[in-house]
Amino acid sequence: VKIAIHGASGRMGQSVARLAAGEGATIVGAIVSPHSKALGHDVGELAGLGIVGVETTADTGSGLLGADVVIDFSTAAALPHLLQLAMRQKIAVVSGTTRLDASCERLLDEAARVVPVLWAPNTSVGVQVLAELVTLAAEKLGLRFDVEIVEAHHRAKVDAPSGTAERLRQAVTAARAELRPVYGREGDAGPRRPDEIAVLALRGGDVIGDHTVHFLGPGERLELTHRATSRDLFARGALQAARYLHGKPAGRYAMVDVIRG
């Protein structure tokens, strides 16, 4: 599969570039912002691979030329322009960019009417499997178990809770629709209500991303945990998703489709 990388100079973009060849992908385009320090640099050199013959560009249209799929790890502000051009140039989109607003979400749906689109706040295959296990556990354990989610990330992360924690909360509410989110407790919070699910965030150090869903029942507890030990797992999942999307009809896809093949 021929890929363009949108956000090619970023931590995730470079990880995608490093792993592309091993995952059966050829890089044909690399896009950065107009003010990027990496503008005009070879994407392979940026990623520590040596020269691969693809220079970064801020011209999204030309960066997409010849690509089957664009892999995007950039910013929510940059994504709408990419989606417009991907629609125009008929290029499938895998996006892992987080903190999208409602208009960006709508644009993903609009683009999916024209090209295949997969957006995932966590492109790790393990997290998707965790989400399925969480729904199963919530279903089987039922109302006698309280469910709470705790996530931990490095000290530089600016948003909370993580997109993945929210994804896991939805995996719980898929089986327990009555649960309403609570994002912290302090002071005279009163006893826990049976219809709440707390989502709590720890921040510190260099933690790439840990998520635990706690099922707290009478006389027993179940804890389902995913720990990321390298950013490469997100890049590998995005490359797997790109291979999966290549040649698929227009529509919205999710990581769960990639796992099921």
Ligand X SMILES: NC(=O)c1ccc[n+]([C@@H]2O[C@H](COP(=O)([O-])OP(=O)(O)OC[C@H]3O[C@@H](n4cnc5c(N)ncnc54)[C@H](OP(=O)(O)O)[C@@H]3O)[C@@H](O)[C@H]2O)c1
Q: How many residues would you count in the chain?
A: 261
Q: Among 9-17, 21-29, 103-111, 219-227, which window interacts with ligand X (CB under 6 A)?
A: 9-17
**How many Cβ atoms from other residues are within 10 Å of residue 20's Cβ?**
24
Question: Per rule CB under 6 A, is residue 33 in the interface with ligand X?
Answer: yes
Query: In angstroms, what is the minimal distance from the CB of 164 to ligand X?
Result: 8
* The two structure tokens encoding residue 50: 């040596």
In the bound state with ligand X, the residue whose beta carbon lies nearer, of 116 and 209, is 209
Give which of 226, 209, 212 is closest to 172, Cα–Cα: 212
In the bound state with ligand X, the residue whose beta carbon lies nearer, of 45 and 196, is 45
Question: Per rule CB under 6 A, is residue 29 in the interface with ligand X?
Answer: no
Query: In angstroms, what is the minimal distance from the CB of 159 to ligand X?
Result: 8
CA distance linking residue 44 with residue 41, whole number of Å: 9
Catalytic residue, chosen from 2, 41, 157, 214, is 157
Residues 113-172 within binding reach of ligand X (CB under 6 A)? 120-123
Does the bond joining 161 to the residue before it have cis omega, within 30 degrees of 0?
Answer: yes
Residues 34-93 within binding reach of ligand X (CB under 6 A)? 36, 38, 73-75, 78
In the bound state with ligand X, the residue whose beta carbon lies nearer, of 122 and 135, is 122
Is 214 an active-site residue? no
Is 153 an active-site residue? yes
Query: In angstroms, what is the minimal distance from the CB of 74 to ligand X?
Result: 4
In the bound state with ligand X, the residue whose beta carbon lies nearer, of 11 and 221, is 11
Q: Containing H/E element for 60?
A: helix 60-64
Query: In angstroms, what is the minimal distance from the CB of 144 to ligand X?
Result: 33
In the bound state with ligand X, the residue whose beta carbon lies nearer, of 73 and 215, is 73
Query: Tokens 């009417």 label which residue?
Result: 113
CA distance linking residue 219 with residue 1, whole number of Å: 51
> For the sheet containing 220-228, what is the strand order?
180-182, 196-203, 146-153, 209-217, 220-228
Query: Tokens 């995007």 label which residue?
Result: 72
* Intra-chain end-to-end CA distance of the chain, in Å: 16
Catalytic residue, chosen from 6, 153, 211, 226, is 153
Catalytic site positions: 153, 157
Query: By the criterion CB under 6 A, which residues form the site for ligand X?
Result: 6-13, 31-33, 36, 38, 73-75, 78, 96-98, 120-123, 234
